[in-house]
Amino acid sequence: MKEIRHEPVAPTRTQWLAPGAAIDPHRHDDHQIVYAGRGVLAVTTSTGLWIAPATRAIWVPAGTVHAHQAHGELALHLVGLPASENPLNLAEPAVLTVGPLLRELILAHTDAPHDDSPERARLRAVLLDQLRVSPQQPVHLPTPSSPQLKAVCEILRTNPADNRTLPALGREVGASDRTLSRLFKADLGMTFPQWRTQLRLYRALVLLSEDTPVTTVAHRCGWSSASAFIDVFRRSFGHTPGAHQPRS
């Protein structure tokens, strides 16, 4: 087991990560906003996987052990905030919507000279105001604790296109669909269809970051057609899958 690094101060900076690169588990005494201006970022915590394409940012509260994984070439923008300053009033990780204004504020704040100038103080104040009004988004893949649920989730992680029903999956792992349905709600806070959709969206983002054609992504992730995939993707992220492909 890798040692968990302790970094008292969460950095404010821009960092480039190559496709597939990772940052090992670590924690800060500060809060942190993590934003991928390019590529797709996955942040893993003890409670699950948090997914952020370029229209989302991840709120990581102070003290949270987390690791980063890059999908595609990743421009990682990190904003550190003192533990005493919590503009979101959240004690758990969350995924936030990043609109055009918030995006430009994050880019400017992480790229600008890190000084104590009045200009930078004003930039930071507007950034905090925008964070306070940013809606939360359910782009989160919680990690199960029940052995039976773990077995079902691992089957689907291995093959998101597996379209078997919950009763059929239950027969493979030795659990009734009623038991599994209860566990999904109690352990993961969502239904089986909701969890499977989140898993498929996450895998779709990874494949899109690798420039996989949309039709191929749809079939690999279990949608019956490209149009069905595009519809679900647009409703989840507000735009079509093509926006996440490097060539776009």
Last residue of a domain, one of 109, 140, 171: 140
Counting every residue, how long is the chain? 248
Residue 230: pLDDT above 50?
Answer: yes
- On whether the pTM is more than 0.85, the answer is no
pLDDT, tens digit (0-9, with 9 covering 90-100), for 180-229 = 999 999 999 999 999 999 999 989 988 988 889 999 999 999 999 999 99
Amino acid letter, residue 234:
R
Q: What's the pLDDT score for residue 88?
A: 87
81-109 tens-digit pLDDT: 999 988 888 888 888 888 899 999 999 99
Beta strands in 46-171 (DSSP E): 48-52, 56-60, 66-81, 94-97, 136-137, 140-142
Return mean pLDDT, the chain: 89
Domain endpoint, select from 91, 116, 140: 140
| Same structural domain, 117 and 156 | no
Task: Show which of 122, 140, 158 is a domain's final residue.
Answer: 140
Q: Assign 161 a pLDDT band (cuts: 50, 70, 90).
A: very high
Are the beta carbons of 10 and 78 closer than 8 angstroms?
yes
Two tokens at 198?
């989140």
**Same domain flag for 15 and 129:** yes
pLDDT at 138: 65
Q: State residue 1's pLDDT score.
A: 44
Same domain (yes/no): 115, 152: no
pLDDT for the residue 4: 84
Cα 56 to Cα 37: distance, rounded to the nearest angstrom: 9
Mean pLDDT of 5-34: 90
Q: Tell me: do 169 and 103 sit in the same domain.
A: no
101 and 155 fall within a common domain: no
Q: Residue 109: CB partners within 8 Å, gap ≥ 6?
A: 12, 79, 120, 123, 124, 127
